[in-house]
Chain A
Amino acid sequence: MSANVLTWSRDARGLMAILLSISLSSGQVLAQDANKVANFVRAALTARSKEITAATVEMPADKFGFRPSTQDMTFGQLTLHVAVGNYLYCSKIGGVAEPTLPEISDTEPKEKLIERLKASFAFCTAALAKLDDSNKSEVLTLGDTRTSRAMAILTLTGTWSDHFAIQTAYLQANGLTPPASKN
């Protein structure tokens, strides 16, 4: 997933870390000794998929074309970008084939984009279900990048956090309360 997805601040990510620590229950996850890396990505997936999906549902359909500036992605593009990244990374990390899906545009109706997003997270859940730490050093090819499975996991979990923070900023910019605040 490219770094130029959107521009945003380190302070925002600082606050994201607080949210992350609240929602991930990291202490419990990391306390398990066997398959620590695999368990970590599964726990992150559970937490992030709920938050990202809820934030996407929260955004009104007529705001999916919103973007803070012309250099940024629209909310619809961001939603599709998360889904595309999920399919790519989870297929490679889980060692399963990436499904061939019909191309959809970021201007499709909200429901269709949410459907694609949810399907991508469901795909990740299935792809990572049997993951263990035995082959975390194996080198994977992700587009132009060759990196270990462990580093791919680090990238995937990092970008989930980034994307959720960006979604939150978009919601705030439209006067909306992020879903996590309503619980």
Chain B
Amino acid sequence: MRRAVAALFALLGMVCWSAAAHDLPMNSIMNGFVKVQPHQIDLVVRVPLDLLRGVPFPVKDSRYDVAASGPAAELALLLLEDGFVVFEDGVRLTAASSKGRLSPPSDRSFESYEAAAAHADQAPDATAPISYDKGSFDVHFIYPIASPQSVFGIQTQVAADLGSGAMLIVRYIPLEDQSRALIIHSGDAPGALNPTWYHAAGDFILLGIDHILTGIDHLLFLFCLVIPVRRLGRLVAVITAFTLAHSITLFASAFHLAPQGAWFAPFVEMAIAATIVYTAIENVVGANLRRRWLVAGTFGLVHGFGFSNALGQSLQFAGSHLLLSLFSFNIGIEIGQLGVLAIMMPALMVFRRLVPERTGIIVLSTVAALVGFYWFVERWQVLKQVEWPRLNGDTAFTAARWAAVVLLAIVAAWILSKWTAHRVERRGRALDGARQADRAP
């Protein structure tokens, strides 16, 4: 025994040393199904053994001793009962039955719910070799429910210490509706599987408020937009233009009209930083406030893409209320935006009393431009590391489509601008005429 242990340590040392400079190789993605039945919910999950390295599954000759794995499997099941949490109408459900087994990586049972559930219920095949860390532990929990019409939620706490690195990709199979896939990160708050319309609306309003209040770059852009604005009419025009514009791209993204690819999100983030720099510099050199709404509208399109990136995976919890959830998220953003403006505008008024107006605009805008420029450089570094799409038929079509959208937006803005200018001119002439009439004897 002593020799065997000594040999193992020697080998362990060599392996560790040779691999010490490599990244931690960890499979932290769990796959599973949640199926609603008339009287129960079945949760079947494949947990990579990487995530259960604390459980002492017996090992013999660098392979799991499947025949002797019973006690460890029982322990793993006990632990995992608290790793997955299923809710019915907000109340945590308790598993009435739980089964689990070791599986080799070659097993393909999780391609369908039926096969996965049947596989998890079977005793493991003691003759199938499973190399250490290469396999999975498959579990099947059954939770009795009050009604299949209830609102169900799910949460995973397995390897929550890894943060967003650990996730459960689960296919939700309702009793009467289409199934859909959800990605649930470990440690996140419970996600609704089939929310009611009012749950979806409420959740997405809160999400929108949270996003704008924690989106410091969006807030800085908003701040830059309103620094020189004093008149309420202009403020309303600026905020309306920003809102309309970001709504357009937010909805377009939700319906998969935005460019796809790993490059797009970092590109948008960098562009958002650029919008801050531009607007701040415009303030410093002297902004044309009559056209400020145009700047807000144009750059609002970029910020809408940013909002959609944040919305991304949350939309999976919209259930069958996608459109409502989008509207609600947008409403949340507007509520948050108005709340911020309610603080920002009086603060700016006070600032204008303390500092000469032009000096104040230059100081605040310079600070904003510097922050924006810092973000721009930082985000450019991220963007540089992303692979850009190769030009093919699909990318050319997407590029052409967006070029057309941008062109249309510019033309629409130009027409609107001319129309507004014409109205202002007419109003001015009418006022001049009235004044002359007043002066006439």
Contact = CB atoms under 8 A, between A and B. Distances in A.
A75 B20 CA distance: 13
A169 B20 contact: yes
Contacts of A101: none
Interface string B143-186: 00000000000000111111101000000000000000000000
Contacts of B23: 7
B393 interface: no
Contacts of B82: 136-137, 148-151
Contact of A162 (B53, B78, B81, B187): B53
B71 A151 contact: no
Interface string A144-183: 1111111101111111111001101101110001101111
B5 A8 contact: no
A165 B11 CA distance: 12
A36 interface: yes
A157 B162 CA distance: 15
Interface stretch (B54-62, B284-292, B422-430): B54-62
Contacts of A65: none
B216 interface: no
A3 B26 contact: yes
Contacts of B72: 26, 30
Interface residues of B, number: 55
Contacts of B74: 30, 36
A112 B328 CA distance: 57
B24 A151 contact: no
B10 A151 contact: no
Interface string A43-59: 01000000000000000
A157 B74 CA distance: 16
A180 B15 contact: no
Interface residues of A, number: 70
The DSSP consensus for interface residues of chain A is helix
Nearest to A138: B82
A177 B19 contact: no
Contacts of A104: none
B18 to A, nearest CB: 8
B255 interface: no
Nearest to B55: A154
Interface string B286-315: 000000000000000000000000000000
A87 to B, nearest CB: 16
A157 B58 CA distance: 15
A17 interface: yes
Contacts of A19: 5, 8-9, 12
A154 B17 contact: no
A154 B72 CA distance: 12
Contact of B52 (A1, A2, A10, A154): A154
Contacts of B75: 30, 36-37, 40
A131 interface: no
Interface string A1-23: 11110111111111111111110
Contacts of B20: 6-8, 68-69, 72, 169, 173
A150 B13 contact: no
Nearest to B19: A9
Nearest to A71: B21
Nearest to A28: B71
Nearest to A175: B13
A8 B161 contact: no
A146 B187 contact: yes
B248 interface: no
A114 interface: no
A163 to B, nearest CB: 12
Contacts of A139: 157
Given A21-B58, A178-B9, A12 B53 contact: no
A59 B157 CA distance: 36
B25 A9 contact: yes
Contacts of A99: none
Nearest to A32: B71
The 3 closest A-B pairs by CB, nearest first: A172-B13, A169-B16, A14-B132
29 contacts: A1-B161, A4-B24, A8-B16, A8-B19, A9-B18, A10-B133, A12-B12, A17-B132, A17-B133, A19-B5, A20-B59, A22-B5, A26-B56, A26-B72, A71-B21, A137-B82, A148-B82, A148-B157, A149-B82, A154-B79, A155-B159, A155-B161, A160-B54, A162-B53, A168-B12, A169-B12, A172-B12, A172-B17, A183-B2
Interface of A: 1-4, 6-22, 24, 26-27, 30-31, 36-37, 40, 44, 68-69, 71-72, 133, 136-137, 139, 142, 144-151, 153-162, 165-166, 168-169, 171-173, 177-178, 180-183
